[in-house]
Structure formats: C-alpha cells, structure tokens
Chains A and B, each alone.
Chain A
Amino acid sequence: MLSIHVGRQLRDFAIDVALSVRCGETLVLIGENGAGKSTVLNLISGILAPDRGDITLGERTLFSSAARIDIPAESRNIGHLFQSYALFPHMTVAENVAFGLRCRKVPKPEIAGAVAEQLRSMHLSDLADVNVGRLSGGQRQRVALARALVLEPELLLLDEPLAAVDMRARGAMREELRDRIRHAGIPCIVVTHTLHDVLGLADRLCLIEEGRVATEGTPEEVLGMRENGFIASFIEG
C-alpha cells in the first residue's frame, strides 16, 4: 500500500496532495495540463523532493519531513514510466532492460536470464539487439515497461503510458498494460488525458486541480460529476 501526503511550492501554485493506493489497485490521475499530475509522480519516485509531508510504501518510509527521512530515488524501488519513455538512446533494447539489474550488481548470468525472460514475456525477444532509436511507439512503451518490471518494483508510476502509441494499437496495448499491472499485484498510479484509459485501467479516479485533489472516488462517481467543467469536457473528449 502506498500512502502519501506531500506539499511542494511550485512557481504558480502549491502542490498539496494526500492519496493512498492499495496493492493491486490502479489509481488514475486526470486534470488540466500543468495541474501538477506529473509533479506528483516525480515527488513519489524521488526525482523531486517535497517541501513537507510523508510518503510510505508498504512498511518503508520513503520520505518524512518530520523524521528527516529522504530515501534517494535510486533506492526507492519504484517503476516510473515517463511520458516519452526516456529509453537510453545509446543502448540496445536488451541493454536498456538490463540497466537496473546492472546497477544492482546482479551477477551477469542472472541478468542475462532475467532480461531474456522479461523480453520473452513482452514479445520483444526479436528486438533484443536493436537500438531503441529504431522502435515504434508501441515497442518503446513495452521496452520501458519491461525495463521497470524486470526490477520487480513495489510501485508503478505511469505517466501517459499510451500517449506515444499508435492510435490503432492503443486498445490492445491498454489491455496488455492492464494485465501486466494486475499480474504485478502492486499499487499503480497512471496519469492520463484520455477517457479510454480511465475506463480501461482505473479502479479509482482522482481529479487534480492546481496541485490539489479536487475529487476522488470510483470512476463512476467522479465521471458522474458533470457540473465540474473539466469532467464535462473530459467525457466529451
């Protein structure tokens, strides 16, 4: 279970968010561009430090301003998928997937085995030695997911995971993504701009407005709030 309550002053407004996500549950964040959704993910994964608050994941305290705890990003064991996937352009698919294991000083034969297995399960085995610059959007998404999942993270953060995927492939990719998340059995937060992602992935839905949780609940509850301007336009697409 992930539970956060963090604050950070940004240039135009302050982030002040309290959220919790259970194991196996997917929380989807929606909101205007620049509302602070990606920043919330960065605060959780440790790329940005909150000014104040607490972040706990399972038994571990990742951040606590009161207890002066700030576990660095590299020790949090959180799978963070960026919108553009941030695949390392100077490495092949296999090298990208092996990167985190190499950082953990896992013995080479084990790395080779784990990477091969992960690539097989993601249908990427044929692309193992291909440079990531030559992949399609869908392939890049799968490599990024494989790179995160091979480390068996305790939390998944997905920032618009399907935005760079070809329109036609999105439906299938979304189902595949949902299966992966279910299979991993860990808390998951997804940032998205599309209704299809909400309907296909969300167990719970949260609307962020200017760094604050405007409303939260089941997708039906939140999407039912038509009086909210953003929700109304979100449903109309």
Chain B
Amino acid sequence: MDLTRFRQETNVFEYGSRTLLRRATLTLLTAVLLALFLLFITLPVVSLFLRISPEAFLRSLAEPVVLDALSLSFITATVSTAIVVVFGTPLALVNARSDYAGRELVDTLTDLPIVLPPAVAGLALLMAFGRRGVIGQYLDIFGIHIGFTTLAVVMAQVFVASPFYIRQARASFEAVDRLYEDAARTLGASRRTVALRITIPLAWGGLVSGAILSFARALGEFGATIMFAGNFQGRTQTMPLAIYTTMQGDMDASISLAIILVVISFAVIAAVKVVTRRSA
C-alpha cells in the first residue's frame, strides 16, 4: 500500500469516526434533555400517588368535603359544557362558513378568555354580575343574586372553557369540504338540514374532542371561580377549590382530590386521542 492511499484511508476513517462520535453525543444529549423534561412532568404527578396509602385514599373519598366537591364539580362542569356546546356550535358554524363584517372581532372576543388570566376573568364577571355590577345592580332590584352561587360557578366555567370548544369546532367545520354541503342543497336539503345531517356529522370527531377539552378546562377552573363564586362547601367549592382549602388541614383529602383530577386528565387526553384518531 503506497503512502498516499494509506493517508487517504486513515482520513476517511478519522472523518467517519468523528461524525459517528458527533452523532452519538447529539443523541445522548437529546435523550438526557428529554428524560429530564419527562422527569420534571412525571415526578410531581407520581409523588401524589406515593404520598398516600390506598386505604387513606379510599377513606378520604368518604369525607363530606371531598364528596361535595366531587359532585359539585361534575354537575357544574357538565352543565357548563352543555351550555358551551349549545351556544358555541352555531357560533362556530357561522364563523366557519359565512363572511360578515366584524367576524374577526367576534373571533378575537371568543378567543379572549384563553389568554385572559382567570383572576381577571373572575373580577370582570364580578364587576358585571356581582351585586353592584353593571347588570347585577338591576338584577338585585328583583332579588336575583348571581355572585357566590352555584350559577356563578357555572358562569365562570363557561367563560374560561368556551374558547376550547369554539376554536376546535370552528376548525372542524372549516375542514368539512363545502362540496358535500353544495351537493346536499341541490338534493333538496335546507341550510338547517345541511348543518344537521351533513356538516355536524362530518365534523363530529372534532366537536366531541372540543367538548371533552372544554369539560376538562371547566373541571379544573380555579381563579375565576374563587373570585366570582367564592369558596363555600357544597355550593361553590369545586374540586380545585377544595384541594386548596383542605391542603391547609386535611392533606389526605387534598391529595385524594388531586389524584382524581390527575386520573380524569389522563382519561381526557386518551379520549381526545381515540376520538380524533377514529374520525381521521
């Protein structure tokens, strides 16, 4: 083997090994970063499960404060999701399908609660519907009080959770090919029938996952609720509020409620994945 060729081959070898080394370092670095991040997310969640025995968990579930919070949360989140769906679906459909002056403004307003801090939302609701609020003062004349009632809990949840459904619904409606709607109309379907029999069924997967996300957001609502509805057991104390309250005395009750919310969160993500995969 002559010297030049030998040099060339050693160079190739050196070059190859250097690339391999660089790639391995990069892979290792990515793996470490990923592992650290996953640890950061999972460790606190796992800690919840490690900090309580199964017996204590079950015992806490029978505590009135836990039971009250559980039932109140499920009822209010269900009602608020239903309200969001009933009002949000036509709104999303109109915004997806028709062009009118002010549509951008309507879109911005419906998105607003996503970026608005919940405490601001709560204060805003109080200023509008509280006893001395812009509308609340007139309701007060008729003896109607909204603030610090279960209705206020629902209103706070609707306020913060509605964008999660409306955004998703609008995107799902936009994804429906207009050709199907045109075809349906030439076959004799009124606009209402087109919406009910064609557009909504074709957007169904997106609507359901939007509703699930909205329900989850309503269930986790804390800031706006405590500002606008207060923190009264059995009336306005939802699960997040009960976690906050019991944490100061009965840690087991607090952790039990937190575990239930963790389980629900996992279920929500799984449900959304299943629904979107099936509709795709």
> Which residues of A approach B to under 8 Å, CB–CB?
42, 45-47, 72-80, 82, 84, 86, 88-90, 99-100, 103-104, 147-148, 151
Which residues of A lie under 8 Å from residue B182 when comparing CB positions? 42, 47, 73, 82, 86
Looking at the complex, which one of B179, B186, B189, B198 makes contact with A76 (CB distance below 8 Å)?
B186
A86→B185 contact, CB < 8 A? no
Additional A-B contact list (18), CB under 8 Å, known A86-B180, A88-B183, A100-B187: A42-B182, A47-B186, A73-B182, A74-B188, A76-B186, A77-B188, A78-B186, A80-B186, A82-B182, A86-B179, A86-B182, A88-B180, A90-B201, A90-B202, A100-B188, A100-B189, A103-B184, A103-B188
A103 to B182, CA, bound (A): 14
A47→B180 contact, CB < 8 A? no
A104→B186 contact, CB < 8 A? no
Looking at the complex, which one of A47, A75, A103, A148 makes contact with B193 (CB distance below 8 Å)?
A103
Measured CB to CB, the closest approach of chain A to B153, in angstroms, equals 37
Q: Is B190's beta carbon under 8 Å from chain A? A: yes
A75 to B185, CA, bound (A): 9
Residue contacts A-B, CB under 8 angstroms, 28 given: A45-B186, A47-B185, A73-B186, A74-B185, A74-B189, A75-B188, A77-B188, A78-B186, A79-B186, A80-B183, A82-B179, A86-B179, A86-B180, A86-B182, A88-B198, A88-B202, A89-B180, A89-B202, A90-B201, A90-B202, A99-B184, A99-B189, A100-B187, A100-B189, A103-B187, A103-B190, A104-B188, A147-B187
Measured CB to CB, the closest approach of chain B to A98, in angstroms, equals 10
A86 to B183, CA, bound (A): 6
B202→A151 contact, CB < 8 A? no
Of B180, B186, B189, B190, most A-chain CB atoms within 10 Å: B186
Which residues B176-228 have CB closer than 8 A to chain A?
177, 179-180, 182-190, 193, 197-198, 201-202
A99 to B180, CA, bound (A): 12
Which residues of A lie under 8 Å from residue B183 when comparing CB positions? 80, 82, 86, 88
Which residues of A lie under 8 Å from residue B193 when comparing CB positions? 103
Looking at the complex, which one of B179, B189, B201, B202 makes contact with A103 (CB distance below 8 Å)?
B189
